[in-house]
Structure 1
Amino acid sequence: MEERYRTWCSKYMRSSPAGLYCFYNGSGDNGDAITCSEAHGYAMLIATLHGNQADLDGLLTFFLAFRNENGLMKWQVRMNKHHQLYVDDDANDCATDGDIDIATALFLAARRWPHGSSMFPAGAYEAEAARISDALLQHCVHPTLHVPLLGDWCNTDDKQNRKLYDSTRSSDFILSSFLLFHMKHPNPHSRQRWQHVLESTLKCALDQLNVHRTGLIADFLVYDGKHGWRPTSGKLLESKHDGDMSWNACRTRRAFIAPAGYLCYVLGDSKGQQAAIRAMDDEESEYFGDSIDLVIAEEAMAAPYWLS
């Protein structure tokens, strides 16, 4: 596992005056963007689960430098030709899943390193985790449906925004994190609210068993009072595949394989697990797949104490 971690770090971990970040734009498709909150959440989870406190501290420092007015991470950070970091006006909003992962990493870090570090004193990890999870409750959870919103930018200003407000994205269904927040948040009221989020999101996911015979969950689901949660029809936010199981529901090629392999591991299906490992070895290296692969591997190693 140490070799896998070091290989991943050499490809994707970068340093800057603001701290460490996960470089996610190797293809160059996103111009001069260097990272996003999703990538940063993956990196913080990986560092914590692997037990690298120095990396976690560097990543936390970067996060603190790029919080928006709601205390959540600005979803994309760029670097200009002078190597200066900046954020476009349309990137100041958050993307819910990144902040969920960041808060998760910090709750786990609080348990792993209760005495803090030279950069962050005892109690700092837990305090920041609690603050982020409360910001998520305030800005990224639907107040009546109790499932994750698409981000802190959601509003009900007009008909289209109302539709987006009453939508949810399956990449934000991070149930283990909701359970962790319910168990570890220091405030009883917040713990109760996260239990409600966990139960509502789980019901939303399980209801899809009655929608599609495969039981697979679409990228985006839309709520209406008559039918409940259903896959969106056509493009809702990103593409014509928003109503399918696609990039958000399970990301990309390696990302489809790694969760299935982990399920085989949990169920004791060694043959299926080994088939998944071989399939991943055949895939080309890229940020999404490599990061999700390593997150799942680290979580598998940490499973015995994840919620202890």
Structure 2
Amino acid sequence: MAEQPRSFFGSRLIQRAILILAICAVIVPLFASKSSYAAATPRRPFPQHTQYASGTIKPNHRSQAQLDSDVKAFYDVWKSRYVVRAGTSSAGNPYYRISFGSSAPNVTVSEGQGYGMVIMALMAGYDPEAQTIFDGLWEFSRTNPSNIDSRLMGWRIPSDGSGNDSAFDGDADIAYGLILADAQWGSTGRINYASAANTVLDGVLSSTIGPNSRLPMLGDWVSPNGSPHSQYTPRPSDFMPSHFRDYRAFTGNATWDTVLSKTQGVVDSIQAQYSPNTGLMPDFVVQANTTPKPSPANFLESENDGNYYYNSGRVPWRLGADAVIFGDAASLRQAQKISRWIEQATGGTASNIRAGYSLNGTALPDSGYFSTFFAAPFGVAAMTVPASQQWLNRVYDAVRSNHQDYFEDTVTLQCLLLMSGNYWSPSRSSTSPTATPRPATATPRPATATPRPATATPRPATATPRPATATPRPATATPRPATATPQPATATPNGVAAWDGNMRAYKVGDRVSYNGRIYRCLQAHTSLSTWTPEAVPALWQAE
């Protein structure tokens, strides 16, 4: 009888053990599955050393290992400054966003979110967190949809309160990032990247590609036949020929062939009629249904809307990418024209690149500073001109470790990925390593001096957004880095209100006081703490 309790107790232990084993049989595979998803092995890990089109070049004064290290070092700084944790989903998955940088660290724009997704997909294999961050960037975009087409992302987070519609460039890169993710990690995990890419591209095509023009519109807020903004008033920095080719390959939709052809036609027309010597493109184009021409001043953002400025500074990168990756003859010709001009205009000295030009090549007023935003895309264009090897090397040296702010650094990082041979197309299988670049035949001349900080402002970032039914929002871009900590506004002489640097909307003619002086507003914009009236004469004039 004394054995019975122990026998009963033993049977209870056995039952519990069996129950625990059964539970583990169910739970452990779930955790293992989640763990294996989180640690998905990249199919195209960084570095890739992509074989680019015949007749194109890379920097040859640094070894391939050095080029790879340059990208890693730049990426590490970029990630530490601009990749921000943004909460957690109800399922416990982290959200991430790309910060607008020092001028507005709590702001995120769809352009940056798209850039971040592309970068993360390309850096997988170096950064073990790449897929986790990519997923968080994508899911953050889904929590902030456009209020017009919910398949697209609202252009500014947080919203300014007047509605939050889309910007073409942000969604174009978000879709491209998803296509890269499908190629990099596959679509059988927690997020079906391929399905998500198709959904975004459906939105892009139906809401932001002109139904007749087949040109990118500025966003889903544009009425195709509206005025002054319509399907015939594109922004050339939205012309992404290599993206359009990959969209076509991914979806099988021949409409993207038409979009590619139409955008290349606009570039050819502007280069022939308005920039035959420089190849430069304006920030905005009008009358694309007849003879495309540069937009008038203040068409959407500033007096420089018809010049080569803080939108079209991306054009040499976009054209160069298509020429380098796909070897397209039209993109090659267009990028070469720009590259040959800028090399001649600067005398072959990279630090002489200015922050904005008229289409005839004259440096714009207040452009006398070096910005990597303008320089790095010229480096990509230089890859299309074999005779410009030394020029390419100098531009590369001028930007490879030069950190400025969100917009400059994010564009520069993508250009470094291209210049180093580590950018690849998801529709092309050739990722076999290229030969180590041949050493330069002579020691390249370095940039003549450390670039000085900007002393004037480019176009305002996220300037006064449009009301829901009135003036449209500006395209997203960033101002130059701040050169100094602004002094606080002082008392208000003569009853004029003190200047307010906390994202206040100013219109032309507004008067403010700052440090004892009265200033009059020259350009409509939304203020930032670093854009003091003293620091940005392009926006304010002292009375």
TM-score range, shorter chain: 0.7 to 0.9
Distance in structure 2 (CA, Å) of the matches to 1:61 and 1:291: 20
* 2:184 paired with 1:112: yes
What is the CA distance between 1:182 and its match in structure 2? 0.7
Distance 1:3 1:270, change over 3 A: same
1:215 partner amino acid: G
Cross-structure match for 1:261: 379
1:241 partner amino acid: N
Aligned equivalent of 1:206, options 222, 246, 268:
268
Q: TM-score, normalised by structure 2?
A: 0.50
Cross-structure match for 1:93: 165
* 2:96 paired with 1:20: yes
Distance in structure 2 (CA, Å) of the matches to 1:277 and 1:289: 14
Aligned equivalent of 2:259, options 197, 201, 223:
197
Cross-structure match for 2:78: 8
Cross-structure match for 2:109: 36
Aligned equivalent of 2:279, options 176, 200, 215:
215
Cross-structure match for 1:84: none
- Superposed CA RMSD: 2.1
Distance in structure 2 (CA, Å) of the matches to 1:37 and 1:221: 22
Structure 2 unaligned residues grouped into runs of 5+: 1-70, 89-94, 125-129, 315-354, 356-370, 429-543
Structure 1 unaligned residues grouped into runs of 5+: 79-86
- Asked if 1 retains the 8 angstrom alpha-carbon contact of 2:168 and 2:218, the reply is yes
Which SS does the other structure have where 1:17 is aligned?
strand
What is the CA distance between 1:178 and its match in structure 2? 0.8
Q: TM-score, normalised by structure 1?
A: 0.86
2:380 partner amino acid: Y
- Asked if 2 retains the 8 angstrom alpha-carbon contact of 1:110 and 1:116, the reply is no
List per-residue Cα deviations over 1:240-283 (Å, max 9, x = no partner): 11011111101662121111112223444431122112322585
- Asked if 1 retains the 8 angstrom alpha-carbon contact of 2:209 and 2:216, the reply is yes
Distance in structure 1 (CA, Å) of the matches to 2:268 and 2:413: 27
Aligned equivalent of 1:278, options 397, 404, 408:
397
* 2:151 paired with 1:151: no
What is the CA distance between 1:90 and its match in structure 2? 2.7
Distance 1:284 1:3, change over 3 A: closer
- Asked if 1 retains the 8 angstrom alpha-carbon contact of 2:235 and 2:285, the reply is yes
- Higher deviation after alignment, 248-257 or 142-151: 248-257
2:235 partner amino acid: R
* 2:152 paired with 1:72: yes
Cross-structure match for 1:83: none
Give the structure with the larger helix fraction: 1
Distance 1:183 1:152, change over 3 A: same
Structure 1 or 2, whichever has the larger Rg, is 2
1:55 partner amino acid: I
Q: How many residue pairs end up in the alignment?
A: 285
- Asked if 2 retains the 8 angstrom alpha-carbon contact of 1:208 and 1:230, the reply is yes
What is the CA distance between 1:303 and its match in structure 2? 3.8
Identical counterparts, % of pairs:
27
Which SS does the other structure have where 2:249 is aligned?
helix
Aligned equivalent of 1:246, options 309, 312, 323:
309
Distance in structure 2 (CA, Å) of the matches to 1:115 and 1:104: 14
List per-residue Cα deviations over 1:229-249 (Å, max 9, x = no partner): 110122111011101111110
